[in-house]
Amino acid sequence: MMKILKELCGAGGISGDEGKVRDIILSRIGGKAEYRVDSLGNVLAFKKGAKRPPKRVMFCAHMDEVGLIVTYIEDSGVLRFDAVGGIDPRVLPGAKVKVGAGGIDGVIGQKPVHLLKDEEKGAAPDIEQLYIDIGAKDKAGAEKYVKPGDSVVFEGGAELFGDGLIKGKALDDRAGCALLLDLMTADLPFDAYFAFTVQEEVGTRGAKAAAFSIEPDIALVVEATTAADVAGVERAKQVCRLKSGAVLSFMDKGTIYDKELYSLAFEIAREKGIGCQAKAAVAGGNDAAAIHSSRGGVRTLALSVPCRYIHSPVSVMAREDLESARALLFELAKRLPALK
């Protein structure tokens, strides 16, 4: 699992430019499932199980990550950009990035602290103030390598960290992709449909099309979700915690989840001794928003791995939570399709 996760996190794939991630996924599912790439770039796959189930279940994870897009090249050779997906501008200054298809190294710069007025020193920048420096001395120098519209990703892969943790770029939602790939390589009790979606971070657009095509009765969205168990946050506001198991959502900003499925998942976790916690906040959103209201409605559940510093250049999750999510995912693959 770590091997595939490293490979997936190392690939750059902002929303709308998920090709490299898709290639890795396709290379893993070739021969194991039937699949096609749809018009938006989603990977839609079908894996035959031992039985044909009463309910059609779609397992979903998104391929894209948050990042930046080049909007303008200044005469001085620096690149102006905008955020693709929800990025807190406070994590951008000082970041190292890869620009364009060629992966040119760049840095996000700003005026040196020594030249700031006192009141500016503690001020978070607006994204319009920031720019990427690739070393080009003027516009012509930059244009040899970069053009407006080019994708920009944070530099990084994934590695083991601290006491049983993983630190990496884009764990949201390469962790979900890795979990689904793991499920697909197993012998499944029932037929299952899989959607590796595009453009989640810019409004769950890929999932909308995927859900329409697959037409599931039930959907399970496999995600990474905000863990705020960090210094200075009181327990009640932590949303979820690392090393406390997989996370089940009852409601977020995009979806009210299916109550029965939510309770069933907790029950299964208890029965099987799988670590599991509720997402203790109505915050964020994911592909479920588009899926549950697709066509005539889809019963939808989200299963997430708790993740610190989500949407920043480097995020952190626990291996044991990934294992819990995996175990619960495998159990749900046995139970959800069999529901009446």
Partner 1 sequence: MPCFLGGADLEKRDFMDTAGLLVALSECCGTSGRENEAAAFVERELSKYAEVKRDNLGNVIGKMAGDGPRVMLEAHLDEIGLVVTGIDEEGFIKVEAVGGVDRRVLPGCEVVVFGKYPLPGVVCTLPPHLTKDGDRKKVPAVSEMAVDIGFGYERAKELVSPGDRAAFKNRAARLLEGQVCGKALDNRAGVAALLRCAEMLSREKTGVEVAFAFCTREETGQQGATAAAFSVEPDIAVAVDVSYGLTPDSPKIKCGRVGGGPMIGVAPVLSKDVTDLLFRVAKDKGIAFQTEIMAGRTGTDADVIAASRSGVKTGLVSVPLKYMHTPVEVVDAGDVEAAASLLCEFVKAAKEGILL
What is the nearest approach in angstroms of partner 1 to the Cβ of residue 18? 23
Crossing angle (nearest 10°) for helices 19-29 and 2-10: 150
Residue 65's nearest CA partner among 9, 23, 121 is 9
Rounded distance, CA 282 to CA 247, Å?
13
Is residue 226 within the footprint of partner 1 (CB under 8 A)? yes
Residue 187: DSSP 8-state: P
Rounded distance, CA 153 to CA 223, Å?
20
Stretch 284-323: interaction string toward partner 1, x if CB under 8 A: x-----------------------xxx-xxx-x-------
Whether residue 221 contacts residue 35, with contact meaning beta carbons closer than 8 Å, is answered with: no
Is residue 100 within the footprint of partner 1 (CB under 8 A)? no
What is the nearest approach in angstroms of partner 1 to the Cβ of residue 163? 5
Is residue 266 within the footprint of partner 1 (CB under 8 A)? no
Q: Which of 1, 69, 281, 339 binds partner 1 (CB under 8 A)?
A: 281
Which residue among the candidates 200, 223, 260, 267 is catalytic per the annotation?
A: 200
Q: What phi, psi does 108 have (nearest 5°)?
A: -95, 115
Whether residue 190 contacts residue 107, with contact meaning beta carbons closer than 8 Å, is answered with: no
Is residue 148 within the footprint of partner 1 (CB under 8 A)? no
Interior CA angle at 234 toward 229 and 236, to 5°? 90
The owner of tokens 């089940």 is 248
Is residue 230 within the footprint of partner 1 (CB under 8 A)? yes
Rounded distance, CA 284 to CA 176, Å?
16
Residue 105's nearest CA partner among 136, 84, 75, 60 is 136
Is residue 74 within the footprint of partner 1 (CB under 8 A)? yes
Cβ proximity to partner 1: between 115 and 271 the closer is 115
Residue 324's nearest CA partner among 334, 336, 332 is 332
Q: Which of 90, 117, 118, 296 binds partner 1 (CB under 8 A)?
A: 90
Cβ proximity to partner 1: between 256 and 283 the closer is 283
Among the residue ranges 70-78, 183-191, 216-224, 259-267, the one whose residues contact partner 1 (CB under 8 A): 70-78
Rounded distance, CA 295 to CA 84, Å?
28
Among the residue ranges 25-33, 94-102, 296-304, 320-328, the one whose residues contact partner 1 (CB under 8 A): 94-102
Q: Which of 19, 49, 125, 203 binds partner 1 (CB under 8 A)?
A: 125
Cβ proximity to partner 1: between 53 and 306 the closer is 306
Is residue 91 within the footprint of partner 1 (CB under 8 A)? yes
Classify each residue of 178-217 as buried b or exposed e, where b means 16 or more C-beta atoms within 10 Å of its C-beta. bbbbbbbeeebbbbbbbbbbbbbbbebbbbbbbbebbebb
What is the nearest approach in angstroms of partner 1 to the Cβ of residue 314? 6
Cβ proximity to partner 1: between 7 and 229 the closer is 229
200 in active site: yes
Residue 146's nearest CA partner among 133, 157, 156 is 133
Rounded distance, CA 114 to CA 81, Å?
25
Cβ proximity to partner 1: between 28 and 167 the closer is 167
Rounded distance, CA 224 to CA 311, Å?
10
Among the residue ranges 46-54, 224-232, 263-271, 294-302, the one whose residues contact partner 1 (CB under 8 A): 224-232
Write out the catalytic residue numbers. Answer: 200
Q: Which residues bind partner 1 (CB under 8 A)?
A: 74, 76, 78, 86, 88, 90-91, 93-96, 104-115, 121-125, 129, 131, 133-137, 141-142, 145, 155, 159, 161-165, 167, 226, 228-233, 237, 239, 281, 283-284, 308-310, 312-314, 316
